[in-house]
Amino acid sequence: MIEQLPFSLPLFWAAVLAFSILVYVLLDGFDLGIGILFALNRNEAHRQQMMGSIAPVWDGNETWLIIVGTVLYGAFPVVYSILLSAFYLPVALLLVALILRGVAFEFRYKDQRHRWLWDLGFILGSIVAAFVQGAAIGAMVAGISVEDGRFAGGPFDWIAPFPILCGVGLVLGYTLLGAGWLVLKTEGDLRDWAYSWLPQLMKGVIGFVALALIATLVGDFEVVQRWLARPWLFLFPLLATAAAWGLLRGVEARQDRQPWVMASALFFTAFAMLAGSFWPWIVPYHLTVAEAAAPSASLSFLFYGIGLVVLPVILVYTATVYWIFRGKVSADASYH
């Protein structure tokens, strides 16, 4: 029998889940953003340089999505079953979109005759993947129907005004991350082109945040009460404002590192405020972290397998890849 570890395993796995989601959003967010930016730039030389900027890391970024699913399945199986039932269609669309992106990424270099088709697949796959992620988050914030630990709604409950708004918002947010990444990693005309898009995308993200905040204030009084009861949550909008200002200042001063760092800080503050607003609920207003956690023996087994082996290996691999492929991507660099 595995001994109980001297700390709260449900809290540990909740922290791992939150960390994995945040890392996935930041890392896969910018390469999805590159795919969306493909629709705005038809210059083939620029497109090859855009591909080259994410080629060493894009598939590794998606590893964190697998970690999210694994932790949910192993540490919070009730949540896994509820969310999979509630978002079966979004998850299916997400998987199809990611597969389409991967196929298009490889085939556009070999099948030049139909390159336009693979570019379209790369663009649509990126947009769909970003949109369904945002819509699923919006549906969770708005509340899903749960009875006796099971999803009690319909397959299209996630198609509603607020989730759609969140889907569009995440598309804009990922595009902002992608533009920041291009500024960080490229040179010349493509870098200048990405710089020109950053202020416009920043305005779009600010507009989305304002609409989402208004919708939340009007539609979810319990969240408002939580904000009033936890005044430290108001620190995050201030930090987000500072990050937005820092991004625009970075654009003005042509500080290549600053836009991507500040865009990432915007996502971090939004994620932290969302988590702080609903804690300790893991399925808002239905299940807390403690209620949803698997038995202690299962959590301990996961800790020794995933917590001490798999997760550190993935962290080291991710850090190593980004370190090896640091620096600018030259204009004549090619993925193949």
Tell me, what CATH number does 194's domain have?
1.20.1630.10
Q: Nearest Cα to 57, choosing from 129, 20, 105? A: 105
Tokens at residue 254, please? 């042509």
- Helices 44-54 and 188-219 sit at what angle, rounded to 10 degrees? 70
Displacement of CA 303 from its chain's centroid (Å): 24
Average pLDDT over residues 72-78: 92
Average pLDDT over residues 35-59: 89
Range of the domain at 220: 9-324
Phi first, then psi: give them for residue 186, nearest 5 degrees.
-120, 175
Q: Nearest Cα to 33, choosing from 205, 223, 226? A: 205
Average pLDDT over residues 95-100: 92
The predicted-structure confidence for 127-174, as pLDDT tens digits, reads as follows: 999 999 999 998 888 888 888 888 888 888 888 888 898 999 999 999
Confirm whether 135 is domain-assigned: yes
| Average per-residue pLDDT for the chain | 88
Confirm whether 332 is domain-assigned: no
Confirm whether 205 is domain-assigned: yes
Number of domains the chain is built from: 1
Confirm whether 68 is domain-assigned: yes
Residue 202 reports pLDDT greater than 90: yes
Confirm whether 330 is domain-assigned: no
Model pLDDT, residue 1: 39
Q: Nearest Cα to 34, choosing from 167, 190, 265? A: 190
Other CB atoms within a 10 A radius of the CB of residue 42 amount to 10
The predicted-structure confidence for 239-264, as pLDDT tens digits, reads as follows: 989 999 999 999 999 999 999 999 99
Confirm whether 54 is domain-assigned: yes
Task: Tell me how far apart the alpha carbons of residues 22 and 109 are, in angstroms, rounded to a whole number.
Answer: 32
Residue 4's pLDDT band, with cuts at 50, 70 and 90, is low
Average pLDDT over residues 95-104: 91
| pTM score of the predicted model | 0.91
Task: Tell me how far apart the alpha carbons of residues 166 and 131 are, in angstroms, rounded to a whole number.
Answer: 8
Confirm whether 168 is domain-assigned: yes
Confirm whether 199 is domain-assigned: yes
